[in-house]
């Protein structure tokens, strides 16, 4: 690898982000825009995508809006076709869209809900990685980033299908890195609890705040912008020797304070 003056300059690069209009996806979209990238913002609601596109353009970059359901194979195919038709290239794919409903018990989890959780969190990223990974590998290369969850290694009964899907996404990361290397790097960010517009119903509660203080090394939830640096790194030449990695960003929740206390 030759020295690069600014490895985090994404001028001229194209980044596709699913679930890019809300939550962590939105934060990453704005972060890449500030770094000079052009973006394809995808989610189910076109109005939300277009609003994010307007924010990106206000930052001096450009973007396109795409209404797709990640859990549907045909929609994944359409996103790839639209992104390449609009931009002519894709340098980075971020599989961020996710779904984590709570069920009262495994027995009371409807088949339709189980299938939907698996489709959005695992089937969609699998298909999109295949579509974009093949074209990147045949061209100038690229980077793919999967957004997972610490539920993959700390599952709870009320979100078991979600945890299983995210564990599968971690495995998919490693398999895809082997399949599409050496020109395409595939990595994963395994997220803990973040304060976003999606999590506001629970992440700002007194219960969560107390739990974080007792069990997280940093004693708080994350702010959306705190994922941006990791995404920029994994997408950049600075991570040229990093692939198949699962990077945990959870404020130390994977190693709770109680685990290090004296007997």
Mean pLDDT computed over 73-86 = 98
- Report residue 255's pLDDT band, with 50, 70 and 90 as the boundaries: low
Q: Which of 162, 233, 241, 255 is catalytic?
A: 162
Tokens describing residue 100:
């984590």
Q: State the SS3 of 172-207.
A: HHHHHHHHHCCCEEEEEEEECCECCCCCHHHHCCHH
For 30-49, write each residue's pLDDT tens digit. Answer: 999 999 999 999 999 999 99
Active site residue 255: no
* Res. 210: pLDDT tops 80: no
Whole-structure pTM value: 0.92
Mean pLDDT computed over 73-100 = 97
- Asked which of 75-79, 115-119, 172-176, 217-221 is least confident by mean pLDDT, the reply is 217-221
* Res. 256: pLDDT tops 80: no
Domain ranges of the chain: 14-197+224-250
At 211 the pLDDT is 78
* Chosen CATH of 14-197+224-250 out of 1.50.10.100, 3.30.428.10, 3.40.50.720, 3.30.420.40: 3.40.50.720
Buried b vs exposed e over 32-56: b needs ≥16 C-beta within 10 Å?
bbbbbbbbbbbbbebebbeebbebb
């Amino acid at each position: 690898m030759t020295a690069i003056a600014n490895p985090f300059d994404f001028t001229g690069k194209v980044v596709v982000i699913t679930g890019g209009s809300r939550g962590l996806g939105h934060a990453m979209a704005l972060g890449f825009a500030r770094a000079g990238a052009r973006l394809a913002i995808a989610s189910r609601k076109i109005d939300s995508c277009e609003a994010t596109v307007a924010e990106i353009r206000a930052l001096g970059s450009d973007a396109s809006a795409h209404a797709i359901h990640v859990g549907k194979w045909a929609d994944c195919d359409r996103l790839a076709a639209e992104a390449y038709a609009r931009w002519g290239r894709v340098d980075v794919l971020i599989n961020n869209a996710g779904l984590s409903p709570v069920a009262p018990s495994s027995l009371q989890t409807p088949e339709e809900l189980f299938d939907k959780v698996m489709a959005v969190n695992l089937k969609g990223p699998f298909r999109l990685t295949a579509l974009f990974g093949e074209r990147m590998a045949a061209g100038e290369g690229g980077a793919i980033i999967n957004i997972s969850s610490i539920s993959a290694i700390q599952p709870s009964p009320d979100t078991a299908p979600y945890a299983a899907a995210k564990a599968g996404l971690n495995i998919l990361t490693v398999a895809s890195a082997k399949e599409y290397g050496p020109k395409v790097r595939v990595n994963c960010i395994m997220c803990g609890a973040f304060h976003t517009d999606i999590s506001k119903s629970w992440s700002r509660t007194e219960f969560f705040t107390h739990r974080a203080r007792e069990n997280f090394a940093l004693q708080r939830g994350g702010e959306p912008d705190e994922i941006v640096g990791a995404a920029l790194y994994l997408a950049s030449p600075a991570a040229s020797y990093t692939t198949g990695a699962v990077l945990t960003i959870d404020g130390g929740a994977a190693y709770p304070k109680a685990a290090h206390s004296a007997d």
